[in-house]
Chain A
Amino acid sequence: MRRSAAGALAVGCILAVSPVASAALDPQRAQADVQDATREQSFPFCSAPHEPLSRRALALCAHAGEIPGCDGFAAACAKGRETPEQRPALSGPWATIGGILNVLAQAVVWIVVLALLLAVIVPIVRALRGRRVETKRAPEPRATAVAAPVEADAPLASDEEELLRRAAELAARGENAAALELYLAASLRALSKRGALRLAPHRTNGEYVRACSDAIARPALRDIVRDVDRVKFGAAPAGAGILEAAGRRAFAIVRGLPIALLLASLALCAGCEGYADKARRPGDDPAGLELLGELLRREGARVEPLATSLASLPLTGPDAAAPAVIVDVERTPLDEDTAGHVVAWVEAGGRLVLAGDPARWPAAFGASPAATGAHRVTVRALVSRGADDGDDDGDSEASTPEYAADEQHAELAEGAAVTFRDAAERAAWFDDQTQYAGGLVRGAGRGYVFGVATDELLTNAGLARPGNAAAAVALFSHAGRMSFAIADPDDGVAPPSTPLAAMLRAGLGPGLLHAFVACVVLFLAAGVRLARPKPAPPPLRRAFAEHVDAVGALYARTRSAAHALAAYAQFADERLRERLSRQPSQGGNVAAFLAARAGVPLERSQRVWARAVEARGGGPPQGDELAVLAELRAMVSAVMAKDT
């Protein structure tokens, strides 16, 4: 918008509903505030900026030569400009090869990741499977436990550090053999904890060595075992040299992993420290807003980081005490949801300072960038908006704003201007050549948007340039607040609505996909087999039971009940006499024994037993064989049940 049009609108209507100007912001002392701030506090963007410079920082390089003592920034700008030229551009077949190598490199990275995962998962799975097999094969507890030849597992049940301590005590007392074995026990315990081997009372030392999956610890363990066996089973003296060597190896095994982890941690810490040198420090980015915050504070404003995401700003209506929210869209890009919420928040009464490329602003504000090549701009500070000062509801009557008498001038690296689709604007700055406006205020619902076509005057480098600070302060006088909340780079992204969305946003989408594919493959490989219904295991001794059934059926077909009774009587006779031999008081009387143990009258047992014995003698069938057989079977079963 040209200055004529903008000026008419500004004077005519827009400024009537615009916010109260701040009386505290004083452009005259802004330059001194910036100098004090840079002198008193550390803003390393000039001396040691973060490298490589960001695209936005590179765009500010025009200021580097104008800021006193900004050699570091200037040098970084020089390097930043050289780098793209020095990088050879790939073209033709080299570009194809580069693409292939890129794919290969990614494949190698994934293979390495997969190998690392396997290296972690395989020992765990093997240990679990081994434990399951061992549990399955564990011997039943024996009722008659036999004393172990030696006390077996006392050392293995203790903590390895405790064992080492006890070994050292024993060694100090001269009990070298016992100390030696404790060193072995400590080593085994440590390796077991690491999953390198599995302790079991029946395992020999040699089996431990052979089963040790820790290739680094295995030679040391083998040496300890050799010494222990030589002393324990070979009656060799446990000399001080042997003890010392075993102790050294045991310490290496027990503390080897922690030491390795410690070293790795130190290495990582060192790496992190090195990385920390390259990491961002407050104020090291020429495109940062730290100096702006400090400048506004020194001007008497209250500045704080935005406490919440822009997507969750509360829609509370106009509030004169609420801070104006500063959003630099160059560093805080707004996603679609956030932009929509910001528009709603402004329309509900919020006050927003938008800086940066107008194309990135919420489309609902109707802003668009305008072409301008001017680098020198003029900013007018707003002293008073008029009669409705302090009224924030946007419904006040129009009044004439009062501007400061002296205009402030700023030098920009890149010219920028903005136009709003709607005409309700107040212009804050103009470029001196084209008279395009770079800072406009417009109402939106019950709130206001103060749009600044470029964020240069907000950045560290832009503010540090002599003369620009006053223009920036004059600019912010249009914000109508003495309280500001600056949005962080992450505040422009709406919080994820679901955990899945959070993981996808964190870049874990490919990982999730791979995990899903791995699950499918595992399911197809093993899960399907496990999921198949398994046939019920056959009953134990099925063959014997079938044999008995078949024999019974044979007897029935041939009407050999007498023979069956005779056979069963023979079986019962053998079984009962086995038990009778342990009961001398029965005097070898099977019938009496049967009566006593089965709890039946003696006469009955005598009758049944006499009939059974008669059948054994091959007498003629009498027709009662099956009944006698059933009766005898019941008695014999009762005797057997008592014995078991």
Chain B
Amino acid sequence: MDAIRFQQTFERIRLQVARVVVGQEELVAGVIVAAIAKGHVLIEGAPGLGKTLVARALAAASGCAFKRIQFTPDLMPSDITGSSVYSRETGKFTFVAGPIFAQLLLADEINRAPAKTQSALLEAMQDHQVTVDGTSRALPSPFVVLATQNPVESQGTYPLPEAQLDRFLFKLTVSDPPPEVERTIVRHHADGFDPTDLSALVPATSPAEIAEMQSHARGVRVDDAIVAYIVELVRRTRDDRAIELGASPRASIALLKAAQVIAAAEGREFVTPDDVKPMVAAVLRHRVMLHPDAQLQGTSPDERIDEIVRAVPVPRLAA
């Protein structure tokens, strides 16, 4: 795959998803970038803002197998991974695959399941495989987890542990649409749009082509100055007095991967600071833990990250 074809395919996918998802351009682009960067996305937003629709539209546009798991407090790990079931006819245990064996998995309201169930996703998200009864089984490729959580409700929820949060490439926040966008959404529904029927969407690509795009994005050149810029951004989260726990080197890698995809989507074979900067907040906001004092003062992670970005000079001439 060359740069032009990558750019065209990326744009095709984006346009297909945008046909049914109105006014969530950042969310749509973030989800596509994450899918190509082999990452997973945690989407936080109030109910009814189109989070599930984005996942289903992306599945339809990319031709990937889609599964959805509604996380509940009584959900068991085996409900996700699958389990071995005794067959009376054969007298043997047969593995029945769980819903995790999909290319695009929507983990809806992931923070409603207890930690044990949440951790069932850890191995899958990191190694793209699940181990049941001592047998490791590879997940289909591509494998993308889109997890959603509601930031408002706290009763009966289990906050995701830092280790699992770190597995997510991005944390994307979905806010209420502006009035004109909301009017457009309502107008679509008045004109007969059915969000449960996405048959109008045609696959703009295929899992195989997405794999090619992943391979192409990995080959995008990253200059040493860009690497230094990324590392500096992430390192500053560890030195910031308002941040108790900074981002790990995995965040630097995530930022690099995301920037590579952004550069490829722009039709370039190299990364520039312009590809890095827009991704910083999405990559870091769920990886930093604010100091309690900063929380008491009402500081948000995004504000601290914005300050950090402003404090780090972009690579420029040394002449």
Contact = CB atoms under 8 A, between A and B. Distances in A.
Nearest to A184: B317
Interface in A470-507: none
A215 interface: no
Given A149-B225, A154-B318, A205-B272, A139 B310 contact: yes
Contact of B296 (A153, A206, A543): A543
A178 B316 CA distance: 11
B313 A233 contact: no
Nearest to B276: A204
Nearest to B271: A233
A152 B271 CA distance: 18
A403 B317 CA distance: 95
Contacts of A340: none
Contact of B274 (A139, A182, A204, A543): A204
B229 A139 contact: no
Nearest to A206: B274
A541 B225 contact: no
A226 to B, nearest CB: 9
A233 B225 contact: yes
Contact of A152 (B223, B307, B310, B313): B313
A363 to B, nearest CB: 73
A418 to B, nearest CB: 80
Interface string B270-282: 1111100100000
Contacts of B216: none
A204 B310 CA distance: 11
Contacts of B228: 149-150
B297 interface: yes
Looking at A139, A200, A230, the one whose CB has the most chain B CB atoms below 10 A away is A139
A148 interface: yes
Interface string B283-319: 0000000000100110000000001011111111111
B316 A206 contact: no
A541 B223 contact: no
B235 interface: yes
B221 interface: yes
A142 B313 CA distance: 14
A204 B319 contact: no
Contacts of A144: 239
Interface residues of B, number: 34
A203 B314 contact: yes
A233 B312 contact: no
Given A139-B307, A541-B297, A146 B313 contact: no
A142 B319 CA distance: 25
Contact of B314 (A142, A155, A202): A202
Contacts of B313: 148-150, 152-153, 201-202
B244 interface: no
A139 B225 contact: no
Given A230-B270, A233-B223, A234-B270, A152 B319 contact: no
A540 B295 CA distance: 12
A149 B314 CA distance: 8
A313 B270 CA distance: 82
Contact of B311 (A142, A182, A229, A541): A142
A543 B218 CA distance: 49
Contacts of B128: none
Nearest to B312: A202
A150 B315 contact: yes
B284 to A, nearest CB: 15
B273 A205 contact: yes
B296 A232 contact: no
A181 interface: yes
B268 interface: yes
A204 B278 CA distance: 11
A535 to B, nearest CB: 17
A151 to B, nearest CB: 4
A201 B314 contact: yes
A155 B239 contact: no
Given A178-B319, A206-B274, A541-B297, A232 B314 contact: no
Contacts of A230: 270
A178 B239 CA distance: 33
B269 to A, nearest CB: 6
A235 B223 CA distance: 8
A39 interface: no
A185 B318 CA distance: 11
B226 interface: yes
A5 B277 CA distance: 103
A159 to B, nearest CB: 15
B41 to A, nearest CB: 24
Given A202-B310, A205-B272, A233-B272, A182 B226 contact: no
Given A207-B274, A233-B221, A233-B271, A149 B315 contact: yes
B221 A155 contact: no
A234 B273 CA distance: 12
A152 B296 contact: no
B272 A206 contact: yes
Contacts of A200: 310
A55 interface: no
B79 interface: no
Nearest to A170: B319
A611 B223 CA distance: 63
B229 to A, nearest CB: 5
A557 interface: no
Looking at B225, B271, B296, B314, the one whose CB has the most chain A CB atoms below 10 A away is B314
Interface in A504-559: 540-541, 543-544
Given A139-B310, A233-B223, A185 B317 contact: yes
A448 B277 CA distance: 89
Nearest to A180: B317
A582 interface: no
Interface in A147-177: 148-155, 166, 170
Contacts of A87: none
B177 to A, nearest CB: 23
A152 B316 contact: yes
Nearest to A181: B317
B317 A146 contact: no
B225 A150 contact: yes
Interface in B124-167: none
A596 to B, nearest CB: 28
A543 B293 CA distance: 12
B317 A544 contact: no
A162 to B, nearest CB: 12
A202 B231 CA distance: 15
Q: Which 7 A-B pairs have the closest CB atoms?
A: A149-B228, A234-B270, A206-B274, A152-B313, A201-B313, A181-B317, A151-B318
Given A151-B317, A201-B316, 15 more contacts: A137-B310, A139-B311, A149-B229, A153-B313, A154-B319, A155-B319, A166-B319, A178-B319, A181-B316, A202-B313, A204-B314, A205-B274, A232-B223, A233-B221, A541-B293
30 contacts: A142-B311, A146-B232, A148-B313, A149-B315, A150-B318, A151-B317, A151-B318, A153-B313, A155-B316, A155-B317, A178-B319, A181-B316, A182-B317, A185-B317, A202-B309, A202-B311, A202-B312, A202-B314, A203-B314, A204-B314, A205-B274, A207-B277, A229-B274, A233-B221, A233-B223, A233-B272, A233-B315, A234-B221, A234-B270, A544-B296
